[in-house]
Amino acid sequence: MAPRKKYLERNFFNNEPELVAPKLLGTTLVIESSPKLALKLVEVEAYGGALDIASHAYRGMTKRNKVMFGPPGFLYVYFTYGMHWCANITCLKEGVPGAVLLRAGMPTEGIALMRRNRNRGDIKDQDIANGPAKLCQALGVDGSWNGLDLFGSACNIKMIANENKDFEVGRSNRIGVREESPLPWRFFIKNNMFVSKYKAQVE
DNA sequence: TTATTGATGGTCT
DNA sequence: GACCATCAATAAG
């Protein structure tokens, strides 16, 4: 008999991002569109507030980063390098900035549409969402999703908690950021083929 | 295999 | 005007 699915609740994100991030690994993100899209998160990074020099929130609230300062459980989607979108889920209570960047996932449902969204018919499954911008492109996430309440009644996104922790969590410095004293706030599932390879890092 | 670079535009100083 | 929480194509070894 299969166990009942347990969904994450907003309170899950009302915590320090570096504590939320590793617990988020193995979560299945489901978009109840037609067709349904789903992927299992295998790599994430935490970003914080005033003490985290690499965070968009480091220099205070701006038009771009204001969602990070809002309540937990909202999408923070930003545009970078002139062509890419990246998605975070906000953490911590209103007024305290924090977020977890979704860096990579293992597609489980709607793979054909994801591959089409990526504008490539020939890539392997493990290359569909093995990077933060690839993940967004595969799921069709863009700037219009910024500020979306993941736990609002109008939201068609669900997050299924991973209850059998059948993997080891790896940890490293964050990717693509410059910081003098790097924080080990990137978390990933060890030995998983769907983790990003960009500037590959281990443990 | 790894290393390098062009693409392309919003955000912030 | 500089910097980007990146990607994919190309070059080099």
Could you tell me if residue A91 is inside a domain?
yes
Calculate the angstrom distance between C1' of C4 and CA of A134. 17
- pLDDT reported for residue A2: 66
Calculate the angstrom distance between C1' of C11 and CA of A200. 20
Could you tell me if residue A203 is inside a domain?
no
Could you tell me if residue A6 is inside a domain?
no
- pLDDT reported for residue A158: 98
Q: Which nucleotides of chain C does any protein CB come within 7 A of?
A: 4-8
CATH number, domain with residue A171: 3.10.300.10
Could you tell me if residue A30 is inside a domain?
yes
- The chain-wide mean pLDDT, for chain A, equals 94
Mean local confidence (pLDDT), A36-47: 98
Q: Is the pLDDT of residue A202 over 60?
A: no
Cα A106 from Cα A85, distance rounded (Å): 18
- pLDDT reported for residue A24: 98
Tokens of A60: 């205070």
* Nucleic chain C contacts, Cβ below 7 Å: A 45, 47, 54-57, 68, 76, 80-84, 86, 88, 99, 101, 118, 120, 127, 131-135, 174-178, 196, 198
Q: Would you say the C-alpha torsion A144, A146, A173, A19 has a positive or negative sign?
A: negative
Which nucleotide is nearest, taking the CA of residue A80 and each C1'?
A: C4
Could you tell me if residue A104 is inside a domain?
yes
User: Model confidence over A142-198: pLDDT tens digits?
Assistant: 999 999 999 999 999 999 999 888 999 999 999 999 888 899 999 999 999 999 987
Domain count of the fold of chain A: 1
Q: Which domain holds residue A68?
A: 12-189
Q: How confident is the model at residue A78 (pLDDT cuts 50, 70, 90)?
A: very high
- pLDDT reported for residue A203: 47
Mean local confidence (pLDDT), A26-53: 95
Calculate the angstrom distance between C1' of B13 and CA of A42. 36
Contacts of A98 (CB under 8 A, 6+ apart): A16, A17, A46, A47, A48, A49, A57, A68, A72, A90, A91, A92
Which nucleotide is nearest, taking the CA of residue A197 and each C1'?
A: C7
Q: Which residues 118-157 in chain A have a CB closer than 7 A to strand B?
A: none
- pLDDT reported for residue A200: 63
- pLDDT reported for residue A201: 59
